[in-house]
Amino acid sequence: MTLKILIYMNEESSSSAKNDLKELIRSTNDKFIEEDLINFLKIPSYTTNKESVLEAKEFITSYISNFCKKVIEIEGEMNPLLLAEVDGDVKDRILVYMMYDTQPVNNEKDWIGYPFGAEITDLPKPLDKLDKVIIARGAYNSKTPLLCFLNVVKLLKEEDQLPISLLFLIDGEEELGSPTLSKTFKIKKHMLNSCIDAYFPSIKQDLNGISVLKLGYKGILSLNIKASSSNAESHSSFSSMIPNPAQDLIFVLNGIYSENKFKIKSLSTPYNMTKREKEIMKDLMKSIDLEIIKEKAGIRQTLIDDPKQNFTDYLFNPTFNISTLKSGFLENGVKNMVANKAECNIDIRFAHDISANLILDEIKQKVKELTRNLKSSFEIIQNMGYDRSKVREDTILVKSLVDSFKELGFSTQIWPISAAAAPLSQIQSQLGLNFIVGGLGIGGYAHAPNEFVQVNSIQNTRLSNYLFLKNYSDLYSEV
């Protein structure tokens, strides 16, 4: 009888401790937003703003230095990376990848407030229904989930209740394609060998509050293509006798991709879904609200009217996007002239199981063929490139996240892949680790004006961070 009473009391004590941690996260949420998060979001740490990137790096270093064993700074091609070990109850470590750089701000006039003001306000219709949001570049992608996760680990360390050890890898060059990651994996291999899985904290709920968990990411190849002539800018009356780099560049782009089809071998055939991917898509189409996805992304017009086909294409079709195209006279008014240079930035995203390097080689060969009889000179510069990544549904990573969402009362939609890209393939190929991106929270407009995070959802972001670590530790200890 005494033994039974002791067991009952121990169970009560354990339950109380768990509830205390949840209550600690809830009770500190407003202070975290006001004193930590808003100040972090005010730092304009877009990748090419070196002074502010260093300010953000110093903010993070100061924030974690009291609970990390050591913080190592690794010199990057443009910005530094940080590595930091945190000891928990389980000695094997989860590699936690995060990023503190952001995209730059274009069209500031389209923002409802200063892009780095981190103001708490309302969005215009139809997203005014979200109530208060924080508007800032990086609010969604990905400074809010970064600081939420670091804050939860800080609280757990202060309470001496961090359930599993961690290795932070905090990237200042993600928006450049993480060019220093491979070097980091080599020079710090001894630190990374203790890692068992990898996790990228993020905020991934739709506007209905449903958590979206994606079992992989597309690969990406980003290029800058330049065309030029040796002429000075000339009057347009000479256009019949001199090369026009703008026209030649357009000709080359159409030779790579036109009429919604790739003209290179590796991406000329549609993606072939696996049997399991088809099953997931069948289930997903029963529950997904495509209008909600479009509304959150600010999409008003699509290429085709069939919602199911539109969504399938979105996930699996390879994409060819021209994000920058410039040449000639770019000021106000009209100037009839022949440009002597033209350039574009393109990004290609793909679900195919092929390498970004293969696509690059094919494009270089195609450009060589297309320009054989052109007078303009061409240059191709790779901005970034990495392959697709995938994770199985039956991993501890996936189960730990889904269970944490369920415990907080949220259901989960499993997607077979994300149409976005992330440098996860490097972690899989070089370290042999499973990798997942996920977490609670509602935000949107990544890379666009009025990027936001919903204020009321930030508490759930932090709670899900804690529950993920606890669930993972419990499941890992059972194996």
- pLDDT tens-digit map of 49-78: 999 999 999 999 999 999 998 899 999 999
Confidence of residue 105 (pLDDT cuts 50, 70, 90): very high
Confidence of residue 289 (pLDDT cuts 50, 70, 90): confident
Q: Provide the pLDDT for residue 5.
A: 29
Domain stop point among 333, 362, 386 = 386
* Residue 119 near residue 134 (C-beta atoms within 8 A): yes
Q: Indicate whether 27 and 142 sit together in one domain.
A: yes
Establish if 197 belongs to a structural domain: yes
Q: Indicate whether 41 and 116 sit together in one domain.
A: yes
- The stretches of 135-236 forming alpha helices (DSSP H) are 143-158, 181-187, 189-192
On the question of pLDDT at 19 being above 80, the answer is: no
Q: Residue 19: in which H helix or E strand, if any?
A: helix 2-27
Q: Indicate whether 190 and 238 sit together in one domain.
A: no
- Over range 431-441, report the average pLDDT: 94
Q: What is the pLDDT of residues 308-322, one digit of tens each?
A: 888 999 999 999 999
Q: Provide the pLDDT for residue 398.
A: 97
On the question of pLDDT at 44 being above 50, the answer is: yes
On the question of pLDDT at 296 being above 80, the answer is: no
- Over range 253-274, report the average pLDDT: 96
- Spell 76-89 as b/e; 16+ CB within 10 A means b: bebbbbbbbbbebe
Torsion of the alpha carbons at 270, 272, 276 and 280, rounded to the nearest 10: 10
Q: Provide the pLDDT for residue 12.
A: 40
Report how far apart, in Å, the C-alpha atoms of 145 and of each of 47, 223, 275, 332 are: 18, 29, 33, 41
* Residue 77 near residue 176 (C-beta atoms within 8 A): yes
In DSSP notation, 79-144 reads S-EEEEEE--SEEEEEEEEEE--BPPP--GGGSSS-TTS-EEE-PPTTGGGG-SEEE-TTTTTTHH
Q: Which of 135, 104, 129, 158 is nearest to 37 (CA)?
A: 135
Q: Indicate whether 178 and 209 sit together in one domain.
A: yes
Q: Provide the pLDDT for residue 304.
A: 84
- Over range 459-466, report the average pLDDT: 98
On the question of pLDDT at 6 being above 60, the answer is: no
How much is the mean pLDDT over the chain? Answer: 92
Alpha carbons 425 and 298: distance in angstroms, whole number? 29
Q: Provide the pLDDT for residue 161.
A: 96
Radius of gyration of the chain (CA): 24
* Residue 470 near residue 235 (C-beta atoms within 8 A): no
- CATH number at 401 reads 3.40.630.10
Establish if 284 belongs to a structural domain: no
Higher-scoring residue by pLDDT: 11, 438: 438
On the question of pLDDT at 342 being above 60, the answer is: yes
Q: Round to the nearest angstrom and report the end-to-end CA distance of the chain.
A: 32
- Tell me which residue range forms the domain holding 351: 217-271+317-386
What does pTM read for this prediction?
0.83
Q: Indicate whether 347 and 243 sit together in one domain.
A: yes
- Over range 164-168, report the average pLDDT: 98
On the question of pLDDT at 391 being above 80, the answer is: yes
pLDDT over 90, % of the chain: 81
Tokens matching residue 8: 């009952």
Q: Indicate whether 149 and 165 sit together in one domain.
A: yes
- Using CB atoms within 10 A of its CB, is residue 130 exposed (0-12), middle (13-18) or buried (19+)? buried
Q: Indicate whether 135 and 211 sit together in one domain.
A: yes
Establish if 24 belongs to a structural domain: yes
Confidence of residue 13 (pLDDT cuts 50, 70, 90): very low
φ and ψ at 48, to 5 degrees? -90, 0
On the question of pLDDT at 228 being above 50, the answer is: yes
Q: Provide the pLDDT for residue 10.
A: 41
Alpha carbons 419 and 439: distance in angstroms, whole number? 17
3-state class (DSSP) for residue 202: coil
φ and ψ at 99, to 5 degrees? -135, 140
Q: Which of 252, 229, 171, 203 is nearest to 426 (CA)?
A: 171
On the question of pLDDT at 440 being above 60, the answer is: yes
On the question of pLDDT at 253 being above 50, the answer is: yes
User: From its phi and psi, is residue 22 left (phi > 0), alpha (psi between -120 and 50) or beta?
Assistant: alpha
On the question of pLDDT at 17 being above 60, the answer is: no
Confidence of residue 423 (pLDDT cuts 50, 70, 90): confident
Q: Indicate whether 178 and 204 sit together in one domain.
A: yes
Alpha carbons 248 and 226: distance in angstroms, whole number? 10
Alpha carbons 225 and 253: distance in angstroms, whole number? 9
Establish if 36 belongs to a structural domain: yes
- Over range 242-263, report the average pLDDT: 96
Q: Indicate whether 111 and 188 sit together in one domain.
A: yes
On the question of pLDDT at 18 being above 70, the answer is: no
Q: Indicate whether 120 and 149 sit together in one domain.
A: yes
* Residue 358 near residue 227 (C-beta atoms within 8 A): no
Domain stop point among 369, 386, 403 = 386
Q: Indicate whether 238 and 327 sit together in one domain.
A: yes
Sign of CA dihedral 397, 398, 399, 405: positive
Q: Indicate whether 60 and 197 sit together in one domain.
A: yes
Structural domains of the chain, count:
2
Establish if 297 belongs to a structural domain: no
Establish if 205 belongs to a structural domain: yes
- Over range 100-117, report the average pLDDT: 94
Long-range contacts of 329-333 (CB under 8 A, 24+ apart): none
Domain stop point among 386, 421, 438 = 386
Alpha carbons 198 and 220: distance in angstroms, whole number? 20
Close Cβ partners of 395 (under 8 Å, ≥ 6 residues apart): 197, 434, 436
Least confident of 33-37, 270-274, 289-293: 289-293
Q: Provide the pLDDT for residue 410.
A: 97
Establish if 97 belongs to a structural domain: yes
Higher-scoring residue by pLDDT: 306, 271: 271
Confidence of residue 298 (pLDDT cuts 50, 70, 90): confident
On the question of pLDDT at 442 being above 60, the answer is: yes
Q: What is the pLDDT of residues 187-212, one digit of tens each?
A: 999 899 889 999 999 999 998 899 99
On the question of pLDDT at 340 being above 60, the answer is: yes
Establish if 333 belongs to a structural domain: yes
Alpha carbons 147 and 169: distance in angstroms, whole number? 13
Q: Which of 439, 466, 475, 460 is nearest to 98 (CA)?
A: 439
- CATH number at 259 reads 3.30.70.360
Q: Provide the pLDDT for residue 14.
A: 43
In DSSP notation, 345-410 reads EEEEEE-SSS-HHHHHHHHHHHHHHHTTT--SEEEEEEEEEE--EE--TTSHHHHHHHHHHHHTT-
Alpha carbons 115 and 136: distance in angstroms, whole number? 5
Give me the sheet containing 81-86, strands edge to edge. Answer: 70-74, 81-86, 164-171, 90-99, 195-201, 435-438
Q: Residue 16: in which H helix or E strand, if any?
A: helix 2-27
